[in-house]
Amino acid sequence: MPIFQCFSVKKLLLVVTLLFSFSVVSVQAQEASADPKGDYKSSLGQLASLYQNEVAKLEKQQQQSKELYKDGLISRVDFENGEKALDEARARVEKVTKEIALANQPAPVLPPVVGFNSTATELNWSTGSAKIDNLIRYYGRQNGVDPFLIYCTMSQESKFTSNATSYKGAMGLMQLMPDTAARYGVTNPYDVAQSIMGGTRYLKDLLKMFNGRIDLALAGYNAGEGAVMKYGNAIPPYSETRNYVRLILQRYTRKQAS
């Protein structure tokens, strides 16, 4: 009997330890995703480091190729191909450096295009599924995002189809890309609750990043926040993105006005 009791206590301590570890990991994951612009800048920094290492490697190889070319051991075509590869690598470093400089610029304070009006938009909409409707309202209220905006975005993204997959690899109701899903702790993008949670948190971060500008948040959701910043905190000149923003805002503002 004492042995059994000892074994039970050990099992209990193991369970408590595992639960505590899981909680710490969950909190860390949430904290890591609390600053979307910081995540983006960190990704750019990692990319810059990768490109710079590539340039250093190619410069060393090209210096060796130059000597070999002088000695007639490699052809002019091989030497020029090496020069071309080095130029392309340097261009990538220059491009990502400009993107880092742009990301470090403070976002201008812009007037909101559409305000948040929960009382006007809580009524008279449905995805056709009470479960999905309730999850939209739950995660919307939890994150301070208008549930009707989530609804309009979901409609445009997937037409409320939980197993939808785009040709670009976006998945689920909110059409999360793999990197975005991972950023918000979504392990199964086709799970209804996880998809709505991840998509809503992404919208929340985009709205915060662009000072409440719903049009820019939607543009970021479609084309990525980097594209919006690249064009000076404006909707990128992509026909798909501009049409996407126009259609969602058209529906969203019409309902708010009613």
The DSSP-derived string for 224-241 is -HHHHHHTTSS--S-HHH
3-class DSSP assignment, residue 165 = strand
State whether the Cα torsion 72-77-80-82 is positive or negative.
negative
User: What token pair was written down for 197?
Assistant: 């949670």
Q: Would residue 157 show up in a list of annotated catalytic residues for this protein?
A: yes
- Find all residues with CB under 8 Å of 31, minimum gap 6, and list them: none
- For the chain, the first-to-last Cα distance in angstroms comes to 71
Set 122, 157, 225, 240: catalytic member:
157
| Angstrom distance (rounded) from CA 191 to CA 197 | 10
Cα 128 to Cα 109, 124, 134, 160, distances in angstroms: 38, 12, 11, 8
Asked if 229 and 103 touch (Cβ cutoff 8 Å), the reply is yes
User: What token pair was written down for 178?
Assistant: 């793999």
**Which residues carry out catalysis?**
157
